[in-house]
Structure formats: C-alpha cells, structure tokens
Chain A
Amino acid sequence: MTDLLRIANASFGYAGRAVISHVDLAVRAGEFLGIVGPNGGGKTTLFRGLLGLVPPLEGRVDRGGARIGYVPQRETLDPIFPLRVEDVVRMGAYGSLSGLRLLTSEQRRAAEHAMERVGLSAHARAGFAGLSGGQRQRALLARALLGSPNVLLLDEPTSGVDRGAQRRILDLLVELNARDGLAVLLVSHQIPLLREAVREVLWVADGRIQRGSATELLAPERLDRLYAAGAAAEDG
C-alpha cells in the first residue's frame, strides 16, 4: 500500500531550534493513529509539521499522496466573525476558488452532503458561534470533508465537550475510517477515549516519537509510571 504521507529523519522546531527530532513516519490509507504524550513533549510541533505549518529543519516530508483535511481546535476560532454553519463548512472548498468565482452547484451539494453526514443539516443557517462545542466540532469536520481528503488531521476534537458529544464525534471518525478508508490522525489528551477508538498510537515525549499499539503504549500501568516520573522530574 502506498504512503499518503511520509516523513524521513526530520526535525521540526522554531527559530532553528529543534523541538522534535529524528521523526520517521509513514501514514497509509485506513490507518487510525492517536498522537499522545505529556504537555511540552512536542505533540503540537509534530502535528504542525504534518500539516506543513512548520517546515522541517532537516530531513524530508513528502505529502505527495495526501489530500489533507484539517480540523482545528474550535476554541482557536474567534466568535466575533459573523458566520453561519454553512459559511464555515463552505470554507473547505476555498482552496479551489479564487477571485469572484462562486461555489459550483456540485460544491454546494457536497457542502450539504458533508453537513448531512455530520448531522448538522438542520443547523446549516444557524450561527456557528452559537452552537454547542460538539456541534461546532462536527461543523469543522464537515468543512474538512468538503475537500475530499484521504487523511484527516484533528487537534483535540473531543476536548471540552460532554460525553455524548465525544462519543458521537469518535463514532463519526471511526465510520469515516472504516467505511471510506480515510487515514485519521488525532491529537488528544483523553486517553480512555483513545484506548477505545484507535489501534495505533504515536507517543510523543522529550522531542522523540515512538509508534506502537494503543494497548501497549496506553496501558494504565505504563502511563502511571511515565507521568509519575515526569511529575518527579518537574518537582526535582
């Protein structure tokens, strides 16, 4: 199976200083990966490197086979913008539009379909900022789906929403992964949820990544040991 996204011996960081080094990673269609690790370990830098928002300081990143759908943390979007749900979702098609060109009827239908898929058709004309956290997250997922991605990258999609909404978002991701073969990579702090949903995990800590099965890397005893050692190091 061909790699959608491939990183070879890359380092990512800011102002010439590497935050995460020696990253070797290949993402294939149908994979479902959780990106986990302690705060400050390099998760965000790796995530931004995968998206192309942080260029590699060394090594190679090949996104040739990837059509990336990006779902940001909803808190990063300012509610001062007067936008309806359909406006936000349609932004997913802006990559192919320039100047005064309007969305094609096909793109409009695709936007409607994406909203329907995430269960937001009834809220299409509602204000985006007025939705619940889970609904906003689903709207952002619909926006990402509009570009017909083969890789979905999600930043903390289930944080700060109630358990029902968390379940619904994860079920959607599992369905997209299983039914459509989309590769899904999500950053999350919610270990119990990840344990249920993902098969593989990228453990990011101290500027290094480790790839392994969720059962192994997210085992409660292992995490207790790692977080206790981290807390002791911070105290010491």
Chain B
Amino acid sequence: MDEITWLERIELFRWPLLSTLCAALVLPSIGAFLLVRRTSFHGIVLPQFAAAGVVFAYAILGWWIETIGLGGLTLEDALHDPHAASTFGLVWGAVFTLGGILLLVLAGRQGGSESARAAAFFATASAAVLVFGRLSPIGRGPVDELLAGEVLGVGLHDFEVQAVAFALSAALLAWFGRDLLLTSYDRDAAIVLGKRATAFEALFHGIVGLAVAAGTLTLGPILVFGLIVVPPLAARPWARSMSGFVTIATVFGVLAAILGEFAALEWDLPLGPSVVLAAALFLAPARLAGRRS
C-alpha cells in the first residue's frame, strides 16, 4: 500500500469506508436501546442468524431460480448481478433475523437462563452458517470473507441497499423513540397512557431485524455485533439522559469507525475487526467513569 496516497486509498475503498461509517452512525443507537432493555445478547446472536440467512440464500439460489425463478435470471446471471444477489440475500437475512428474534422472545417467555439460551442460539446459528456455506454455489471464499469482516469488496449497490435499510431503521427509531423508551422503561404506564406496547415492541424488533440483516449482508456479523454492543457499553457510564446515551454511543461508534478504517488501510488489517477493536478502546475509560460515579 506504500505506493498509493491516502486520497487514492480513500477513493479506492470509498464504498466499504462509507458503509462502515453508515453502520457506525446507526447501529450504536439501536444497541443503546438493546442495552437498557437488557437484551444486548440479541446484538451478538442476531447478526449470526442474519449471516446464516445470507449464506442460506446463496445455498438455495440455484434451486430457487430453477423452481421459482428470480426475474428471469439464470444462476450465472444472478451471481454476477449484484442487485439480484444482494436483494435476495437481504431478504433471507431479514427472514432469519426475524426468525431469530421470534425464537429468542418465545424462549424468553419460558424462563430460565437468558445467557445460556443466547449461547445455544449463537452456537446453532454459527453452525448453520458453516453448513450452508459448504452448500453455496459461490464457494467458501465469500462466506469466509463475510464472517471475517473482510469488507473491502463492498460496492456501490451493497452500500445503497445498506444505506436505505439503515436510513429507514434510524428514521423509525427517531420517530418512535419516545414511545419505545416509555414502553421499554415502564410497559404498564405506557399502556395506561394509551400506548400500544405490544405493537411498539414488535416495531422495535423489526427495526433491529432490518438493520442487523442489512448490516450483516454488507459488513458481516463481527462488525455488526461489535457496533451494536461495544459503543453503548462504553457510553452508558458517561450518560445522564437517554438522548445523551444515544449521542455518546453514536460518537464512540463513529470515532471507532474512523480509527479502525485508518488502521485497516495503514497496516492492511481486516476492516471489520479493526473497527471493533478500536471501539473496545473506549471501554477502559468507561470503566473509570463508572467507578467514579
């Protein structure tokens, strides 16, 4: 990388860099809500479900085209058409994510250890990714890249799909944020005040599902769960209000993205894991702030 300038690097990798920044702007705020709802483990498990859905989409792509069809495309066309393949992957990623949310909610109603359930679902989803990956007609390479957070191959279309999904998630979170906060904090009071608590909970799961599926499709599970879990955890001890919490978590996420991107380009490191490690740097001062308060 020594022979090209920084501007050239940024130009060359603008879509993965922009995609990562976009994720850093949206995912920490979703993670902040997951944290106060004490469901941060969803942020670990759901990207794995989304990854299983994306890989599953590739595994069944040939069969799907043969039996149902995909806009008249052949398997060869579909694999070379970024729109068709990524939309198909996004749909299956979303289906698996929402299925994962449903499983977590249903299992949660039966009581028992939440962390054990989360671990079991994580193990199952991770195994599913590897099994579906073996069946995929595109081979193991793209699956391994997705899982390792090697996202430098992200193109314009991936960015567009992700940006639309993130913009929609962020808009819904902003529009219904007050209702989601009240429902999460005091469900009974929300109902007494005339809010439809169940509908708002379903909406929140939908927002999480959409953002996680789109993020995982483009950036892989490591970056998605890193940005959902780590910046909010680092931000919580500094926060004095919910809006402050979301803002600090987002600032940490964006700073981590910038630092991680710099490290990845400077030292030729995988982008996703570099961002997550950069985010983890904010945890130490957070611990000190927590002790002080």
Chain B associates with chain A: yes
Does B51 belong to the interface (CB within 8 Å)? no
Q: B240 near A99 (CB under 8 angstroms)?
A: no
Q: Determine the residue in chain B with the shortest Cβ distance to A127.
A: B240
- Report Cα–Cα, A29/B219, bound state, in Å: 60
For the complex formed, measure the closest distance between the CB of B197 and the CB atoms of chain A, giving whole angstroms.
Answer: 10
- Report Cα–Cα, A3/B223, bound state, in Å: 58
Chain B residues, CB < 8 A from A100: 174-175
Of B63-71, B81-89, B180-188, the one contacting chain A is B180-188
Does A18 belong to the interface (CB within 8 Å)? no
Chain B residues, CB < 8 A from A127: 240
Q: B182 near A81 (CB under 8 angstroms)?
A: no
Q: A51 near B242 (CB under 8 angstroms)?
A: no
Q: When each residue 157-188 of chain B gets 1 if its CB lies under 8 Å from chain A and 0 otherwise, what string results? A: 00000000000000000111011011011101
Does A84 belong to the interface (CB within 8 Å)? yes
Complex partner residue of A91 from B35, B185, B236, B239, CB under 8 angstroms: B185
The size bracket of the interface on B is 20 to 34
- Report Cα–Cα, A233/B152, bound state, in Å: 72
Does B106 belong to the interface (CB within 8 Å)? no
Chain A residues, CB < 8 A from B182: 91, 94
Does A1 belong to the interface (CB within 8 Å)? no
Of A72-80, A181-189, A200-208, A224-232, the one contacting chain B is A72-80
Chain A residues, CB < 8 A from B185: 77-78, 81, 83, 91
Q: Determine the residue in chain A with the shortest Cβ distance to B175.
A: A99
Q: A94 near B36 (CB under 8 angstroms)?
A: no
For the complex formed, measure the closest distance between the CB of A162 and the CB atoms of chain B, giving whole angstroms.
Answer: 24
Q: A91 near B189 (CB under 8 angstroms)?
A: yes
Does B292 belong to the interface (CB within 8 Å)? no
Among A53, A80, A94: residue with most chain B CB under 10 A: A94
Chain B residues, CB < 8 A from A84: 240-241
Q: A95 near B242 (CB under 8 angstroms)?
A: no
Complex partner residue of B192 from A70, A78, A83, A99, CB under 8 angstroms: A70
For the complex formed, measure the closest distance between the CB of A45 and the CB atoms of chain B, giving whole angstroms.
Answer: 13
Q: Which of B73-130 contact A (CB under 8 A)?
A: none
Does B244 belong to the interface (CB within 8 Å)? yes
For the complex formed, measure the closest distance between the CB of A143 and the CB atoms of chain B, giving whole angstroms.
Answer: 8
- Report Cα–Cα, A53/B197, bound state, in Å: 11
Chain A residues, CB < 8 A from B175: 99-100
Chief secondary structure at chain B's binding surface: helix
Q: Determine the residue in chain B with the shortest Cβ distance to A91.
A: B182
Q: A68 near B186 (CB under 8 angstroms)?
A: no
Does A64 belong to the interface (CB within 8 Å)? no
Complex partner residue of B241 from A53, A80, A83, CB under 8 angstroms: A83
Complex partner residue of B242 from A68, A76, A81, A98, CB under 8 angstroms: A81
Q: Which of B18-76 contact A (CB under 8 A)?
A: 35-36, 38
Q: Determine the residue in chain B with the shortest Cβ distance to A99.
A: B175
Q: B194 near A87 (CB under 8 angstroms)?
A: no
Chain A residues, CB < 8 A from B194: 95
How many A-B residue contacts, CB cutoff 8 Å? 70
Chain A residues, CB < 8 A from B190: 94
Q: B179 near A98 (CB under 8 angstroms)?
A: yes
Complex partner residue of A80 from B36, B195, B240, CB under 8 angstroms: B36
- Report Cα–Cα, A197/B65, bound state, in Å: 74
Q: A80 near B188 (CB under 8 angstroms)?
A: no
Q: Which of A17-75 contact B (CB under 8 A)?
A: 48, 51-53, 68, 70, 72
Contact A87/B192 with A77-B185, A80-B35, A80-B38 known, Cβ cut-off 8 Å: no
Q: A95 near B35 (CB under 8 angstroms)?
A: no
Q: B195 near A95 (CB under 8 angstroms)?
A: yes
Q: B189 near A68 (CB under 8 angstroms)?
A: no
Q: A51 near B188 (CB under 8 angstroms)?
A: yes
Q: B38 near A82 (CB under 8 angstroms)?
A: no
Q: List 19 A-B contacts (CB under 8 A).
A: A52-B192, A53-B191, A70-B188, A72-B188, A72-B189, A76-B186, A78-B185, A80-B35, A82-B36, A83-B242, A84-B240, A87-B241, A91-B185, A94-B178, A94-B179, A94-B190, A95-B193, A97-B178, A127-B240
- Which residues in A have some Cβ–Cβ distance to B below 8 Å? 48, 51-53, 68, 70, 72, 76-78, 80-84, 87, 91-92, 94-95, 97-100, 127, 143, 147
Closest 9 A/B residue pairs (Cβ): A95-B193, A82-B239, A70-B192, A82-B245, A81-B36, A95-B194, A94-B182, A99-B175, A81-B185
Q: Known pairs A76-B188, A78-B36; list 20 more (Cβ under 8 Å).
A: A70-B188, A72-B186, A72-B189, A77-B186, A78-B185, A80-B35, A80-B36, A81-B36, A81-B185, A82-B239, A82-B240, A92-B193, A94-B179, A94-B195, A95-B193, A98-B179, A99-B175, A99-B176, A100-B174, A147-B193
